[in-house]
Amino acid sequence: MAGQADSGGGAHITNTAVDCTAEYLIQIGVLEGDLNLILRVPPAPSDDDAPLAAAERRLARSLLRRWRAEADAWHMTDPEPLRVRWTPSRQVASAGEFVPAGSGADTIAGTFLRLRPRRRLVVLGTAGSGKTTLSVLLTLELLARRLTQGEDDVPIPLVLSLESWNTRRQSLTEWLVDRLRQDHPGLPTVDGVHPALRLVQERRVLPVLDGLDELPEHRRAEVLDALHTGLGGAGDIVLVSRTTEYTDLDRKGQGLRHATVIESLPLRPDEVAEYLQRARPRSRAADWARLLKTLRTDPSAPVARALTNPLMVWLVRRAYERHPTDPGELTDRQRFPDRGAVEAQLLDRIVPAAFPALPPDPGRLHPPRTWDADRAGAWLSYLALLLNRREESELAWWRLYTAPLPRLLAVPALLATGILLSLVIKAGLSGYTESNPLGGMALSADVTGGVVFAAVARSVTASWFGQRLTEPRRSANPLLFIQALRSLDRNSRVGPLVRSATLVGGPALVVLLLALYTFVTPEPALVWFSIGGVLPVLLMIVYTAPADTVDAATPDELLRGEQSALVTTLTLVAPLIGAGVGAFFWLNDSTLARGTAIAAWAGASAMLVLLSPWSRWMLAKCSLAATGRVPWSLMTFLRDARTAGLLQFSGGTYRFRNRRLQDHLANRLTEERGTAPPGREPVPVPALSDAGHFTVEHAKDHFCLRGRSRRLPLAHWAALGPLMGVYAVRMSVSGQWQDGIAWLGLLVWPFLGAVVTVVGLFLPRRRLELELTRGGVTSVIGRRRRSYEWRHVEEITVRRAVFRGRDARFHALQVRLLAGAPRPPRRSRMGEGWYFVLPLGRSPQVDPQLGAALADFAGSRWTPPSGGR
């Protein structure tokens, strides 16, 4: 509202409303003169586009809320922002500096929208240089322009991680459509279907893709090739990567074509000083004076060189924000002689700064949690160490059970919990036991029946979804059957014919069996098998589909979804198993049908709960918390760590704000334990001539490695483990734990696995040969020979072996073939286009002689391993 005095002494009042949702305007006060209302309304969409426009607005509002929350959590929307300078790294249309935020300069979105001839932007920089911050701020401004300024031609930015895109299975369009459907299932439908396909095909969404540098080297080129194909000639995109990884691709002619490439410039010490002077608390001006003076007068000081990185500037501000910390200590050259010492000090101080000891107001009803900084640092260091051991960056609560301690306690915890449940079941069904002529034997048999039927349903579901059964399940609403079927189809690991036959033939089989009982033969077993056997299996498949964890809203929502799915199985699947058993006895005119049904339901419920992702999560959290490795309120702690700026969301998982922070915390813990950080130090590899069982023949045009190795069969443990878990549940819950023979049966499974492993060790050594020539590479393992010609090989390197989707936990020499090359047998496939050559062991390091030979004969095709993959 603006007011101006007119010649008559009155006021000219103008109200301007832009993209306003208000229905009434109330002006309070004494009005003299004219009252004008200017309402800027965008043109109404046509009838055909109205549903799609509504879906776009819903999507934009959802994304704006989400990324505003993320920006606030990462302190990106600070009133005193740190200005990072960006410069074109090649001859591009938008010459000059690219300023993310600053008075008088163009905005991020304005610069991006004026890019010509195509709006393709590549954002480069070193670790912690502000790449992600730029992409998030660009996303927020584009969404704000669309929603508050009515610029309908502005695309809707979708920030996605490239780790979730399998370019060999999905095109760019298919991936974007799938992600929209997964992440935003509640968008208004267009013509009765989800609007994702139209939004992508009509280019109303802008892919903002991060994490190119975090992909394996071979996948980076594949992603860029797929982007070129998917974008076509007019597609817009924002791509974020570290400078070194992207420039390596660009030198090979694999960079993003027709793109404006910008790169962050190091911060100048005087700029950092001005920023810290504005951002520091005014009451602590004297404490910051020494550091600011050093930045202005001595640019070569270690602290000045360390603070050229935005991440370090953020760390120094957070670490020394509160009293009694002294930022001037960073100028002491005796304590901090180089840049690395300053950076290490900042990384050490960030955890205490993130968790200050601030007592809450005692008058508050629900005061916030406070965390001890030392303990918080130890917990974060342990989690970082777990991630480094797995060579991962995403912290998923459902994978926490793979830590050593939960794995060790898995079977004892199953037995202890099952024994307690058996005592509860026996006490609750004491009347049924007394009235049954068989007494406790009948109760044990009924509970065992429920366990077995639930185990069958679970095994079928495992075959259907594969390894994803260990992931959290989506929140299933039994009333939304069609939605459940869509999720079932999206996550299944079986072919379309098997899916169709199961979903059509399963219900038909139930109807057929019930019809046979009604009209042909009154055999109660038909009702038992249909209601208690086939129907629970079908519902288990439909309502326990894994959730979409890659870009789920929050980890807490995934946990709630798993809990909801568990409740659904307990109230839908388990009761059907009990009803089928009870119906069998009821149709046989037995008065014990009710007790039998309850006992079978109890056994099925115990089976479904004890082997669920939720139970594994509880075991991991409780065991690690009891030993002090994590807090008891782990999810609350992770949320607070995110709020403090140490963690951030990555879909349904957490990740450290920066990989450098993760490595620092992990290394600090390993140094305290006196061990080297796993995967960070080179592993000494003995020469092949010293190995004892290998001989080497090396000539100008020939390299041959011959030897023999023992077999170590371990693949059978993947099948014996689940079988042992099912047996432990059945034995303990059914009450058979009181029988000594049952305990001997439990020991059969590990004994059988150990026998297979030991027998494999004592079998004759396998022949191993590797031959390199100018024409190709040939390997011999036992009686199997594999040959690959160099003209068909695109790359050869060392990777982790993966057989049928399962990590074999050893490294092998593998090749990736060119398109159109002859394909080896299926047993040689390692996934992602790689094929097996020769096993090398648990370490990814290569013997120097073999590495030199591969570099000589394979040439540029050979990629030395930088670590496990």
Among the candidates 336, 354, 372, a domain finishes at 354
Going by the DSSP 8-state scheme, the letter that residue 372 receives in this structure is -
Q: Is residue 630 part of a domain?
A: no
Q: Is residue 575 part of a domain?
A: yes
Of residues 226 and 88, more confidence is placed in 226
Q: Is the per-residue pLDDT at 724 higher than 70?
A: yes
Q: Which range in 165-179, 303-317, 445-459 is most confidently predicted, on average pLDDT?
A: 445-459
Range 60-79 average pLDDT = 73
Range 124-132 average pLDDT = 78
pLDDT tens, position by position, 477-515: 555 555 556 555 555 666 667 777 777 787 888 888 888
Among the candidates 247, 264, 281, a domain finishes at 264
pLDDT score of 832: 67
pLDDT score of 9: 46
Rg (CA), the chain: 32
> Do 260 and 93 contact (CB within 8 A), yes or no?
yes
Per-residue confidence at 358, pLDDT binned at 50, 70, 90?
Answer: low
Q: Are residues 166 and 236 in the same domain?
A: yes
Domain CATH for 223: 3.40.50
Per-residue confidence at 693, pLDDT binned at 50, 70, 90?
Answer: low
Range 408-415 average pLDDT = 90
Q: Are residues 225 and 293 in the same domain?
A: no
Of 291, 597, 573, 312, the residue nearest 432 (C-alpha):
597
Q: Are residues 131 and 203 in the same domain?
A: yes
Range 165-175 average pLDDT = 80
Q: Are residues 82 and 218 in the same domain?
A: yes
Q: Is the per-residue pLDDT at 191 higher than 80?
A: no
**269-279 and 310-319 are packed helices; what angle lies between their axes, rounded to 10 degrees?**
30
Task: Indicate the average pLDDT of the chain.
Answer: 77
Lowest-confidence range among 160-164, 670-674, 678-682?
678-682
Residue 545 CB-half CA count within 13 A: 20
Q: Are residues 221 and 338 in the same domain?
A: no
pLDDT score of 383: 93
pLDDT score of 380: 93
Q: Is residue 844 part of a domain?
A: yes
Among the candidates 572, 598, 619, a domain finishes at 619
> Do 833 and 816 contact (CB within 8 A), yes or no?
yes
Report the C-alpha gap between 829 and 831 in whole angstroms: 6
Q: Is the per-residue pLDDT at 6 higher than 50?
A: no
pTM score of the predicted model: 0.66
Is the bond leading into 822 cis (omega within 30 degrees of zero)?
no
Q: Is the per-residue pLDDT at 542 higher than 90?
A: no
Q: Are residues 727 and 821 in the same domain?
A: no
pLDDT score of 43: 52
Q: Are residues 113 and 18 in the same domain?
A: no
Q: Are residues 702 and 836 in the same domain?
A: yes
Q: Are residues 241 and 333 in the same domain?
A: no
Q: Is residue 631 part of a domain?
A: no
Q: Is residue 533 part of a domain?
A: yes
Q: Are residues 278 and 303 in the same domain?
A: yes
pLDDT score of 405: 92
Q: Is residue 643 part of a domain?
A: no
Q: Are residues 154 and 190 in the same domain?
A: yes
Per-residue confidence at 212, pLDDT binned at 50, 70, 90?
Answer: confident
H/E run at residue 240: strand 237-242
Q: Which range in 347-351, 355-359, 699-703, 786-790 is most confidently predicted, on average pLDDT?
A: 786-790
Q: Is residue 679 part of a domain?
A: no
Of residues 565 and 366, more confidence is placed in 565
Number of domains in the chain: 6
Per-residue confidence at 621, pLDDT binned at 50, 70, 90?
Answer: very high
Per-residue confidence at 687, pLDDT binned at 50, 70, 90?
Answer: very low
Range(s) of the domain holding residue 25: 2-40
Q: Are residues 248 and 341 in the same domain?
A: no
Report the C-alpha gap between 115 and 258 in whole angstroms: 11
Q: Is the per-residue pLDDT at 249 higher than 50?
A: yes
> Do 785 and 779 contact (CB within 8 A), yes or no?
yes
Q: Which range in 209-223, 582-596, 628-642, 826-840 is most confidently predicted, on average pLDDT?
A: 628-642
Q: Is residue 481 part of a domain?
A: yes
Range 722-749 average pLDDT = 86
Q: Is the per-residue pLDDT at 365 higher than 70?
A: no
Of 450, 475, 473, the residue nearest 528 (C-alpha):
450
Range 781-793 average pLDDT = 87
